[in-house]
Amino acid sequence: MNISYRLADIAAQLGGRVLGDSEVCVAQVATLENAQARHISFLANSKYRAQLANTRAGAVILGESDAGATDLPRIVSDNPYAYFAKVSALLNPLPETTSGVHLNAFVGADAQIDATASIAALAVIGAGAAIGAHSVIGEGCCIGANTVIGSHARLYPHVVIYHDCLIGDNLIAHSGAVIGSDGFGIAMNEGRWVKIPQIGRVVIGNDVEIGANTTIDRGALDDTVIEDGVKLDNQIQIAHNVRIGAHTAIAGCVGIAGSTSIGRHCRIGGSAGILGHLHIADNVEIAAFTLVGKSIREAGSYAAIFPFSKTEDWRKNAAHLRHLDELAKRVKTLEQEIALLKGKEQ
């Protein structure tokens, strides 16, 4: 690739204020530490300001409060991290794909593939499915019957979407993601489990990204819903009938049990879990490794992490957890006895 931009061009497209030589050309983004003359770097947090002194970057993106902290050609932005993201997108356009259906793809009856879409080798598009404009379906993807995918989707190789799902525009789905598999619905009957058919769908809004090997089950009766702008990292499990509110971001390995609804603009840390049938309010932040076992009605930050320590210390401390109730009772007894002693004193 030979893409490069003058700072002036970047600011013309993305806004921001250029300080220093606006004719400087940059061809790639890089960290302050590893940047070279053709790179543009960024300072998102004033606390790393010292790194500006040694960078060999050709230009830097930074916030108003750091605008004077370097003499390098620079772009000043209210939100240098988001600005950097946009510059990187300019400098790193997605590789072009050829539109059309590969000779070795399989397209079912009555499927509607937009003429600008690209269906790679070994992809399977089920009967009655629809693929929107400029969408790219990677090698080996399987799209189930009657599933509808909007425009500008990008499915990396080996994404599976089951039948009858409804997906908005701009979906990014990484390899191994499975969307629309059966929810875990079973009923006990005379010592054996009976399967409950999962007849709901998965409905996904616009601008959603789904990480590698993440799974989203279809609803049991009603739908599983992922609203606009939701970002899911890798290896997340979303059970049937979950609803995830718009612009919520969830880190890797999180599990969300059935019928729970999560608000908008939430942030959920890695390997956290949320039990089923709960409601989580908007703007809730949940720490990594935290299990949420009750509904959260109030925005804010929640946690439940056992602090780690050397194993020998952990062992000594953790042993008391099995007797914490007794310890609390002993403290109460002590308080009563002290009260008694103090009473006698007086």
Using CA atoms, how far apart are residues 16 and 62, in angstroms rounded to an integer? 10
Is there a contact between 52 and 79 (Cβ–Cβ < 8 Å)?
Answer: no
Count Cα neighbours of 215 within 13 Å in the Cβ-side half-sphere.
Answer: 14
CA atoms within 13 A on the CB side of 7: 23
Backbone angles phi, psi at 111, to 5 degrees: -70, 145
Q: Which of 50, 96, 189, 297 binds its own copies (CB under 8 A)?
A: 189
Q: Can you tell me which of 53, 191, 297, 343 binds its own copies, judged by CB under 8 A?
A: 191
Give the gyration radius of the chain's Cα atoms: 27
Asked if 207 touches its own copies (CB under 8 A), the answer is: yes
Residue 14 touching its own copies (CB under 8 A): no
Selection from 20, 54, 13, 59 nearest residue 39 by Cα: 59
Site for its own copies in 121-180 (CB under 8 A): 121-122, 124, 138-140, 142, 145, 156-158, 160, 162-163, 172, 174-176, 178
Count of residues touching its own copies (by CB under 8 A): 128
Which residues are catalytic, by number? 240
- Is residue 30 near its own copies by the rule CB under 8 A? yes
Question: Which listed residue (196, 278, 282, 283) binds its own copies by CB under 8 A?
Answer: 196
* Beta pairing, strands 215-217 & 5-6: unpaired
Q: Residue 160's beta-bridge partner residues?
A: 142, 178
Closer by beta carbon to its own copies, 23 or else 313: 313
Choices 54-62, 63-71, 110-118, 313-321; region in contact with its own copies by CB under 8 A: 313-321
The yes or no reply on residue 212 touching its own copies (CB under 8 A) is yes
Per rule CB under 8 A, is residue 309 in the interface with its own copies? yes
**Should residue 89 be labelled a site residue for its own copies when binding is judged by CB under 8 A?**
yes
Scan residues 265-284 and list those touching its own copies (CB under 8 A).
Answer: 265, 270-271, 273, 275
Helix (H) / strand (E) element for 83: namely helix 80-91
Region class of 32: left (phi > 0), else alpha (psi between -120 and 50), else beta: alpha
Segment contacting its own copies by CB under 8 A, of 2-10, 45-53, 66-74, 83-91: 83-91
Determine if 315 is a binding residue for its own copies (CB under 8 A).
Answer: yes
Q: Which of residues 52-71 bind its own copies (CB under 8 A)?
A: none
Q: Could you say which of 38, 49, 99, 255 contacts its own copies (CB under 8 A)?
A: 255
State the minimum distance, in angstroms, from the CB of residue 264 to its own copies. Answer: 9
Q: CB of 262 within 8 A of CB of 285?
A: no
C-alpha to C-alpha distances, 270 to 79, 267, 289, nearest whole angstrom: 25, 10, 6
Element (H, E) at 25: strand 25-26
Q: Does 5 bind its own copies (CB under 8 A)?
A: no
Pick 86 or 279: Cβ nearer its own copies: 86
Cβ atoms within 10 Å, residue 312: 8
**Hey, which residues between 218 and 237 contact its own copies (CB under 8 A)?**
221-222, 229, 231, 233-235, 237
